[in-house]
Amino acid sequence: MPDTRYLLLAVAVSAAVTWALRALPFTVLAPLRASAVVRYLGARMPAGVMVILCVYCLRDLPLSRPEAVAPLAALAVTVGLHLWRRNALLSILGGTMVNVVLASTVFGH
């Protein structure tokens, strides 16, 4: 197991890089916020960013193997629940439960 000093340093390094990436652009990009191009991007980016993050999460899906069934079924349940009830927590819990149950039993090991 990694020693404590290494673990603490790993967390510190990660935190510094992450915060810098989140905070510094506000100073650098501040003058750009009034521009028409930035406002155009700002209105459209949220929807696109979330779509990209979804694809990122599913990037390693083994489509040709039976193990893909669990996450695909869970994804269908998440989307279905959300279109039906529009309750974020319900959709997330429902989808995750389907995945855990399928991945741990039928398609597990």
Partner 1 sequence: MGLGLLPLGLALGVLITHAGLPWWCASLSTAVIYAGSFEFILVGLVLAAVPLATIALTAFLVNVRHVFYALSFPLDKVSGRPARAYSTFALNDESYALATGPQARSWSGARLLWLQVLMQAYWVGGATAGALLGSVVPDTVTGLDFALTALFTVLALDAVRERRGDLPTPLLALLSALIARLIVPGQLMLGAFALFTGALLVRHFVTRSRSSHA
Q: Judged by CB, which is closer to partner 1: 46, or 66?
A: 46
Q: 61-69 contacts: CB < 8 A, separation 24 or more? A: 66/107, 67/103, 67/107, 69/102, 69/107
With tokens 């510190």, the residue in question is 12
Name the site residues for partner 1 (rule: CB under 8 A).
1-2, 4, 6-15, 17-19, 21-23, 25-26, 28-29, 32-33, 37-38, 40-59, 70-71, 74-75, 78-79, 82-83, 88-89, 91-93, 95-96, 99-100, 102-104, 108-109
With tokens 């009830």, the residue in question is 85
Q: Judged by CB, which is closer to partner 1: 4, or 64?
A: 4
Q: Judged by CB, which is closer to partner 1: 47, or 66?
A: 47
The H helix count followed by the E strand count for the chain is: 4, 0
